Structure 1
Amino acid sequence: MASETVFFSARSSTRQAACPGCGTVSDRVHGGYRRRLADLAVAGRSAVIDLLVRRFVCPVASCPRGTFAEQIAGLTEPFARRTPPLRQALEKVALALAGRPAARLAKHLSLPASPNSLLRLLRRLPDKTSGTAPRVLGVDDFAFKKGHVYGTILIDMESGDRVDVLPDRTSETLAAWLREHPGTEVVCRDRASAYAEAVRTASPGAVQVADRFHLWKNLCEAVEKCVAQHRKCLAEPTTGATAEPTVTEADDTPQPVAGRRAIKRRERHAAVHALYDKGVQIQVIADTLHLDRKTVTRYAHAATPEEASLATGSRSYGQVHAYTPHLHRRWNEGCTDAARLHAEIVELGYRGSKRTVRRHLQEIRASGKPAPDKPQELTVRKATWLITAHPDKVDESKALKLKQLLSRCPELEAAAECVREFAQMMTERQGSKLDGWLARAESTGMKPLQSLARGLRQDFDAVTAGLTLEWSSGRVEGNVNRVKRIKRDGYGRAGFDLLRRQILLAD
């Protein structure tokens, strides 16, 4: 069997060398010794160089080095067992894939190295430091552990280079960095108050730019809350023979499950706000009411119980609406077993749970009536999409649905008008119109839009700049996604120092 390693024997012909301690050139040979250096692979096989080098005597008596070994440029480094080309290749692999994945790839390339050796190579790389900050700085946070621990990434918005990574997302840490690195003229950020305070404190002359994507996202969230408050308008009016009779025979039917959930939601909302309005902390409320902290946070930040209900639906519950025609047809055919119906729509591509299907059919089961041939009511999310979508993406049938919805609900018509004006202001960079738009949003009388307007007024200068200047946080968001990939490669085993080097130094 052929050897998997190629060996090369070589010797140095140098007759003199400079002392690394004092720089004096010496030609007095003290002796020699052999070095074994791993090198780049040759023809798919790992390579080892067996090198004979000389040791010289330093002629300067006061030099602390009595003898020294010669170094061959491009081939040897002090105390190294790898050649510089091999070391650089392993550094690139380690920067791209971290420890274990990089070790597996290096093995396939006939450059064997252990995961720990690769991580040590990363930690020896020179740090990326800069005395001044870029002219246009992008700031955003990313999660070390989602929902618990966050860091901050800084980007040069003009070149796209990573500038630095901070261990948290507090205003004090960013302000300290800005003081140590002066020169920033423009700061692109989301609407986080901590970053805004840091820039005001450390770089008061810098122009703050609120990201347009986050502004549009905030507007869509406010519109969704408005639609939820007027969900009764989503149902298409029945006509003629399809209208429901006005007799009250259905008064004795059991209360639908949806109604019981609404009552429970109102009770929870009242209980949370009874404590939250007194200044009680979120965690204390959660412990007192025996609720999850996230649930308490959702109710505490919702002005009405309906707003709190927007975040309770799962993705699979929204997916089940795509299979409503099949479920209703089978129900009317006599198949009322939720497990069997779930199995049928799974074959059609559904990926949700049986419990979701059962909940979807609860209202029909409680009513004791046949299922409608097709749902006559828009969902909150679909109606929100119709109001906020670009007109070019809305076909004629959907545009007709939107027109009918807005004709039934003047409040949503006012919200849709606000959306159109904001979209025009954002795409045409007309930030000077922001003050007038805020006044119109406040005059609609809809609390979600009024709340959004109050928040934008508090950050008025940054929002105006975001709707006027060319800068946005797109490059920062792209790097945040890249950080997520680096974290996955590390399997949660890397410390901050190693993660920081990977973020800053990788290609």
Structure 2
Amino acid sequence: MAFSHLSSVVVDEVRADGGGVALTARTATPEAACPDCGTVSGRLHGGYRRRLADLSAAGRQVVIDLLVRRFLCPAAACGRRTFVEQVDGLTERFARRTPLLRRSLEKIALALAGRPGARLAAHLSIPTSANSLLRLVRRLPDKHIGAAPRVLGVDDFALKKGHVYGTIILDMESGERVDVLPDRTAETLTAWLRAHPGAEIVCRDRASAYAEAVRTACPDAIQVADRFLLWKNLCEAVEKCVATHRSCLADPTEDAPAEAAVEQEVSGRPDGMRVIRRRERHTAVHDLYDKGVPIQAISKALGLDRKTVRRDAHAATPEEASLGTGSRRYGQVHAYSPYLHRRWNEGCTDAARLHAEIVELGFTGSKRTVRRHLQEIRASGRPTPARPKALTVRTATWLITSHPDHLEENGTLKLKKLLSRCPELDAVAACVRSFAVMMTARRGGDLESWLSCAEDTGMKPLQSLARGLRQDFDAVTAGLTLEWNSGKVEGNVNRAKRIKRDGYGRAGFDLLRLRILLAG
């Protein structure tokens, strides 16, 4: 059973040496047919040995040393004088592999491409190179394409992201890959559809190029816009609407406790590191100054400026030394303390950003002044004051576009509060709910009324979406009514991307197309 393809030859010897197995064999048929004219001949002309690589056996590489014979063609009209016999299932013209090994390597190459396939082949004891595997794929016969499938799916995928795109064509009923086109232009798809007529339904995205190609080549075909992409477009429009009403996301009932906490923290804050260092410095200066050490010597010993030493030496307390030392601008920053403390409580602890904000309010001091003002809170070792958790744009969008049954009690409450304080977003949420019902219940006939409702909300993102859907009204209606969608095409697009990445930069279009169409 392991060597059934050798049943038509005589095996004279089997040798196992090193990591391989060598079989010596010869043919035993008395005659053979000419490959050109088909005349059977039994007249021998000579013979020679062929060395054929075969599938491995028991983890060992197998090589067949086969003696074949050359025959004379008896037909006078035949242009071939001699020919070499071929053994079915064992030899092919000019081949150095058995058909069984060739087919196995083709499967490996289609699944893994060059280098990964070569590594697997070496592990299976059928060593070959990456280039040899790619040549095997390129020699495979192209897929025959007759008439187009009744239900066709088309979508684009990136050959070079952002620059070059191709088109994959799929039979939606069987899931079989039909063809791959080198670009995504309307002209290319139009030419393909005209060369392969028969499509009655075409599933596509909302790209205008595909719509134009189908209208030109198959005017009677029903175009179906993908429901997932329609829902995705709606979610994007909702996110833009939420971003427009960002000010409504914060719950005003949560701000009062936070501001009260700020006031309590500011009034009762402990001494910061700056105050502690000032007191330590004053004590060190007085320890030396009271012993009669000159100010110059104290300055050198402590590494301080003479003016600083003189100020501390002449002051009885650290607080007295600090009086009158601040600049006029440092005094000005106290007028903005309530704003700074409120922003700190909201979670903004970046002095540069806070400086930019109070500059817009009229502050003329430097960033360093603001940084010094906030140093006591920053260096106190306490965590940042609690910040009220306001909804983000993405979270609010998710709450509006999620199925109500999928929301927890907390999420439902947040959504209810948000919609109660923002009538505009309440209208957007109503449009989302009606669209979801229309999509899941396949009520494409309600599209016109939904578009009017979306336009009446006054929200520009929804109005823009409605204009786009009106331009593709028939395809959108079919997508919301029929059972077909582009799910199978999207899955094959992901598969094509994986195959492209496996090419390690060697995936030219010809090779990529064969692997997409022929790989299992």
TM-score range, shorter chain: 0.7 to 0.9
- Alpha-carbon distance in 1 for matches of 2:146, 2:191: 13
1:230 aligns with 2:245: yes
TM-score (norm 1): 0.76
CA-to-aligned-CA distance 1:384-406 (integer Å, 9 cap, x gap): 00000111210001100000000
CA-to-aligned-CA distance 1:333-355 (integer Å, 9 cap, x gap): xxx899xxxxxxxxxxxxxxxxx
- Alpha-carbon distance in 1 for matches of 2:413, 2:335: 35
1:133 aligns with 2:148: yes
Name the residue aligned to 2:293: none
1:34 aligned residue (49, 52, 64): 49
1:122 aligns with 2:137: yes
- Alpha-carbon distance in 2 for matches of 1:152, 1:494: 16
Q: Secondary structure at the match of 2:252?
A: coil
1:23 aligns with 2:49: no
Tell me: CA distance 1:251–1:17, structure 2 relative to 1, closer, same or farther (3 Å).
Answer: farther
2:435 aligned residue (422, 447, 457): 422
Question: What is the CA distance between 1:253 and its match in structure 2?
Answer: 7.4
CA-to-aligned-CA distance 1:449-496 (integer Å, 9 cap, x gap): 000000000000000000000000000000011111111111122210
- Alpha-carbon distance in 2 for matches of 1:199, 1:241: 60
Question: What is the CA distance between 1:371 and its match in structure 2?
Answer: 4.7
Runs of at least 4 residues of structure 1 off by over 4 A? 249-256, 368-372
Name the residue aligned to 2:117: 102
TM-score (norm 2): 0.74
Tell me: CA distance 1:213–1:28, structure 2 relative to 1, closer, same or farther (3 Å).
Answer: same
Name the residue aligned to 1:199: 214
Name the residue aligned to 2:77: 62
Q: Which amino acid aligns with 1:115?
A: A
* Unaligned ranges ≥5, structure 1: 260-323, 339-361
Name the residue aligned to 2:419: 406
Question: What is the CA distance between 1:242 and its match in structure 2?
Answer: 3.0
- Alpha-carbon distance in 2 for matches of 1:206, 1:446: 35
Question: What is the CA distance between 1:197 and its match in structure 2?
Answer: 0.4
Q: Secondary structure at the match of 2:386?
A: coil
Q: Which amino acid aligns with 1:123?
A: R
- Alpha-carbon distance in 2 for matches of 1:126, 1:377: 61
1:381 aligned residue (394, 399, 410): 394
1:173 aligned residue (175, 178, 188): 188
* Unaligned ranges ≥5, structure 2: 1-15, 261-332, 353-370
Tell me: CA distance 1:59–1:204, structure 2 relative to 1, closer, same or farther (3 Å).
Answer: same
Tell me: CA distance 1:241–1:181, structure 2 relative to 1, closer, same or farther (3 Å).
Answer: closer
Q: Secondary structure at the match of 2:465?
A: helix
Tell me: CA distance 1:200–1:13, structure 2 relative to 1, closer, same or farther (3 Å).
Answer: same
CA-to-aligned-CA distance 1:229-285 (integer Å, 9 cap, x gap): 00000010136953869xxx99857999xx9xxxxxxxxxxxxxxxxxxxxxxxxxx
Name the residue aligned to 1:284: none
Q: How many residues are paired up? A: 408
Name the residue aligned to 2:316: none
- The question of whether the paired residues in 1 share the 8 Å contact of 2:258 and 2:388 is answered with no
- The question of whether the paired residues in 1 share the 8 Å contact of 2:255 and 2:388 is answered with no
- Alpha-carbon distance in 1 for matches of 2:139, 2:444: 48
CA-to-aligned-CA distance 1:5-47 (integer Å, 9 cap, x gap): 1000111111111101111111111111111110000110110
**Which has the higher Rg, Structure 1 or Structure 2?**
2
Tell me: CA distance 1:255–1:73, structure 2 relative to 1, closer, same or farther (3 Å).
Answer: farther
Name the residue aligned to 1:486: 499
- Alpha-carbon distance in 1 for matches of 2:497, 2:510: 16
Name the residue aligned to 1:273: none
CA-to-aligned-CA distance 1:193-222 (integer Å, 9 cap, x gap): 100000000110100000000000000000
Q: Secondary structure at the match of 1:112?
A: coil
- Alpha-carbon distance in 2 for matches of 1:253, 1:436: 54
- Alpha-carbon distance in 2 for matches of 1:155, 1:98: 22
- Alpha-carbon distance in 1 for matches of 2:334, 2:146: 76
Q: Secondary structure at the match of 2:122?
A: helix
CA-to-aligned-CA distance 1:45-97 (integer Å, 9 cap, x gap): 11001111111000012211100000000000011000000000000000000
Name the residue aligned to 1:495: 508
When the two chains are superposed, the root-mean-square deviation of aligned CA atoms in Å is: 2.9
1:143 aligns with 2:158: yes
- Alpha-carbon distance in 2 for matches of 1:394, 1:482: 33
